[in-house]
Chain A
Amino acid sequence: RFVLNELKSAMGVMQHHDAITGTEKEHVAHDYERLLDAAIEDSLIIARQAFNKIAQNSPLKPALFSYDRCRFNESSCPTSEASEKFVLTIYNPVGWNVMEPIHVPVLEGQYEVYAPNGDKITSQLIDIPAPVRNIPTRKSNATHELVFIAKLHPLGVKQFYVKKITKITKITKRDVMKTNDYYGNINDYWKNLHDNFVEIHNLDDFDKTFKSEQIPLPIPKTDSKVDM
C-alpha cells in the first residue's frame, strides 16, 4: 500500500498546471520526471509480487525469473537485447479483448515467438531506422524490432516465449563439405556446428533448413604454410 501511495502522491504533484501543460522550467520538468519514474518503478513491486505468486509452483519460479518492465519508448530493452531466450508477460488493463502489436527491440537474427498454448505465432523482424543525419540517438545495442500481434483477454495476463533460433544462418551444405575436405572428419565439424551455432542434428535437417546457396561460412584459420 505504501508504494502505491507514493505513486498517488506523485500523481498529485502532477496536477499542477505547469506539469499538465509543460510550462515549467526545464530543471523542474526533470524533477517531475524523477518523481514519476521513481514512483512508477516502485509500484511495479506489486505487479512482480503478483506474478511471482502465480508462478511459485511452476518452472518460472522467482529464483529463476525476474519481471522487468520495459517501456520500449526508445527501442531499448537490456533483457531482450542481451538474451537469446526471454519471456514477455503482457497485462491488458482494459476490460475487453485487445489485439495489440508488440515491438520488442532485439539484435539481428531469426526469432520464434510462442503463444501461451505453445503454438508458434507469426512474427516479423524489422530494422530500426538509422537516426536522421548524425544526431545523437538512443543508447541501445538493438538493431531490429521483433513484431507480433498479441491477442489479450480482458484484464488478462499472457506470457509469450521468444527464442533466437540461430546465430549464423548464412551457410550451405557445400561449405560444410568443403570444410570436411580440409579437416577429414565431418563429425568434429558437426559437433562444433551443433555446439556453437544451430540446433541441427543430421544432414537431412541441414538440407531442410538451408536449401539456398548463400554466403560461405568463414573457414577457421589454419597454418598458412600448408598448401590447401
Chain B
Amino acid sequence: NKDINIDILKDRTDNIYVGDLEKIMKEVRTENRRERKAEKISYPSLNEEEMRMLADESMVVERSYEDYLENEYMKIRVDNTGVTHMILPDRTTNLKVQMYYWTGCYGNNTDTTFRSSGAYIFRPQTTQPYPMTYRITGTIKGPVLQEFRAEAKENAASVLRVYNGLNYFVHDFVVGPIPVEDKVGKEYVVRYETNVVNNGEFYTDSNGRQMLKRKLNERPQWNLTLEEPVAGNYYPVTNKISIEDNNTRISILTDRSEGGTSLEEGDLELMLHRRLLHDDAFGVGEALNETAGGVGLVMRGTHKLLNLDPRNQQEVEEKKLLLQTHLKPIVFVSDAENVDYETW
C-alpha cells in the first residue's frame, strides 16, 4: 500500500481499508482490464496474485455492506471497514479491531542509538505503526456462533466471533509467516480502538500478581523522559489488559503472555508475533528469525474482549473468566466406531 499510484490513495495520512480497495476495484473494472494488468508500472507494489484479486469481481464488497453479529448480550456492527460498534443494552461503544506492524531498527549495537531490534529489545523504527489492509472473506451465522472473517495480505487473518449465551467477544487470529523479503524485520500487533476516555491510563496484570495502573510516559516513582516512546510504554500482560472510563471498562483477556500498551487514547495494543533479522547483542547471539518449515513461524491465538460497566461490581465474574481462559477444559477424543449411541 505504499506505492499505489491512484489519486484516492495519495493521502497517506488515511489508512487504506476495504472501502478503498473497493474503489480501486471499481477503477480497475472501468478500464480495460488487460491493459491495466499489463501496466504493472502503475501498481508497483502489487504482485500477480493481488492484481488478480483486484480484477476478480467476486471479491467486490457491496458499498452498502452492513451486518450485525449478535447474541443475547451484545450486537457487533460490521461494515466494509470491519467492526465499527459494540452495542450493549445500556450503551454503545465504538470499536475497531485493526492489525498493524512495527518495523524493527537496524544498527551496529555500538551505542543505544544504534541498537537493533531483537529478541531482548523491542525498538521500532517509527512512532506510528503501519496499518494492514483487510479484505473481508465472509460472515457466518448459525445457532451456536456468528462470525466475521477478514484477512490481510501481510499474512494475517482475523475471525471475530460471538457465541450464543456468552457475554464476551472473541478475536481468533492466525498470523505469519511474517514476510521479510524486503529485508526489514517486523513486529505484528493488534489494536482494539474504542472511544473510551482513559486519559492515558491502562491496567495490566503484572505477571499474574495484581492489576497495576500504568500511565503513558509516566512512572509513579520518578520523573521520566523516555528515549523509546513506544517500547517504553509496553508492559507485560500475562492474562489481562484493560482501560476504563466512568461507564465502560474494556478488558482484553489473552490466551498467553504478551506485551501490551495503550499508546493512543481509547486503544489497547497487544503484540502478537515478531520476526527480526538482526541480533540485538544482548546475549542470544542470533536474530529472532525462526524459520520453522523454511518459511517462518505461524502463530494462532485468541483474545476475549469484555465490555463491562465498572459501576456494576462485576470483578468476580471477570476474574473467573480470566482464570477459565487460562485453565481451559481439557478434551479427550475417543473413537466410538464400536459403540453406538444406544449403548453409550
Contact = CB atoms under 8 A, between A and B. Distances in A.
B119 A70 contact: no
Nearest to A98: B324
Given A96-B320, A122-B144, A161 B333 contact: no
B336 A100 contact: no
A154 B142 CA distance: 28
B344 A123 contact: no
A149 B341 contact: no
Given A133-B155, A149-B163, A64 B339 contact: yes
A74 B151 CA distance: 18
B1 interface: no
Interface in A154-185: 159, 161, 163
A150 B163 CA distance: 12
A35 interface: no
Contacts of A65: 334-336, 339
A94 B137 CA distance: 36
A65 B328 CA distance: 24
A13 interface: no
A96 B293 CA distance: 41
Contacts of A68: 332-334
Nearest to A125: B142
Contacts of A133: 49, 153, 155
Interface string B320-340: 100110011111111111111
Interface in A81-114: 82-94, 96, 98-102, 104, 114
A129 B300 CA distance: 13
B interface majority secondary structure: loop
Given A24-B284, A129-B149, A152-B329, A85 B144 contact: no
A129 B138 CA distance: 9
B292 to A, nearest CB: 8
Interface in A51-88: 51, 59-60, 64-70, 72-74, 77, 79-80, 82-88
Interface in B42-93: 49
B97 interface: no
Contact of B344 (A22, A26, A59, A83): A59
The size class of the interface chain B forms with chain A is 35 or more
A101 B144 contact: yes
A211 to B, nearest CB: 20
Contacts of A72: 331
B144 A69 contact: no
A66 B335 CA distance: 7
Contacts of A96: 320, 324
B32 interface: no
A122 B143 contact: yes
Contacts of B216: none
Given A47-B332, A68-B333, A152-B329, A94 B177 contact: no
B195 to A, nearest CB: 29
Contacts of A122: 143-144
Interface string A1-45: 000000000000000001010111110010000000000000000
In the A-B complex, list the 6 residue pairs whose CB atoms are closest, starting with the nearest: A124-B142, A124-B144, A67-B332, A89-B332, A85-B336, A79-B333
Interface of B: 49, 119-120, 137-138, 140, 142-145, 147, 149, 151-153, 155-157, 159, 163-166, 174, 177, 257, 282-286, 290-291, 293, 295, 298, 300, 320, 323-324, 327-341, 343-344
6 contacts: A20-B257, A26-B286, A99-B166, A132-B157, A133-B153, A161-B341
